[in-house]
Chains A and B, each alone.
Chain A
């Protein structure tokens, strides 16, 4: 158990819908990273927040957005969902903002878009 929690574990929805995925980092960690893992694309970095501010941006679609709240939990919002958005979404946390740090992954949210 990494100490990072994600809800929900599974989510099934229809195309065109909007969903919110939630992540609570390990106690004391200020950084949250979001990743998407699909069968054909592998693990893709989406975005990182540090202490409430966006720190780094990867391959995140414009239909996706994220934020980190004052209590440091983070939410990833996915809108206008398409079949291709079906994937495992992981969040990871780290103590600080630097790239020299270990990231601890949550168990993931499996999203299925029908």
Chain B
């Protein structure tokens, strides 16, 4: 079963729109949640979240974690065509004597002019 579920799977918006991407998880011994942006090649790191309710911001992007409801959102305001990418959410959790890292399937964002 999927431990990390992202929604929507795909999203098409116009430049200037604001989008919210969702990531829910179901793991025991949660450690941290990470967001990545993947364009044509390797993922690039956006945020790491470990505490509930503390918003992390970087320019037009922001993210927050809710450890009680087991989800995180990634907001992008005033979207630009350069924001077009797949956004990946990943969760670190402890299990079987070590820790594991599981990724969601990603949300494909397309920003059209």
Contact = CB atoms under 8 A, between A and B. Distances in A.
Given A43-B103, A99-B92, A100-B32, A106 B42 contact: yes
A50 B100 CA distance: 14
Given A43-B103, A56-B98, A56-B101, A108 B41 contact: yes
A62 B32 CA distance: 28
Interface string B26-44: 0000011010000001111
Contact of B44 (A57, A101, A105): A105
Task: Summarize B's interface: helix, strand, loop or mixed.
Answer: strand
Given A99-B31, A100-B48, A100-B50, A58 B100 contact: yes
Interface residues of B, number: 22
A4 to B, nearest CB: 8
Nearest to B103: A43
B7 interface: no
Given A102-B45, A104-B45, A56 B99 contact: yes
Contacts of B99: 56, 99
A36 to B, nearest CB: 11
A51 interface: no
Given A56-B98, A100-B32, A100-B48, A90 B42 contact: yes
- Rank and list the top 7 A-B pairs by shortest CB-CB distance, nearest first: A99-B92, A105-B42, A43-B103, A56-B98, A45-B101, A99-B31, A42-B105
Interface of A: 2, 33, 42-45, 55-58, 90, 99-108
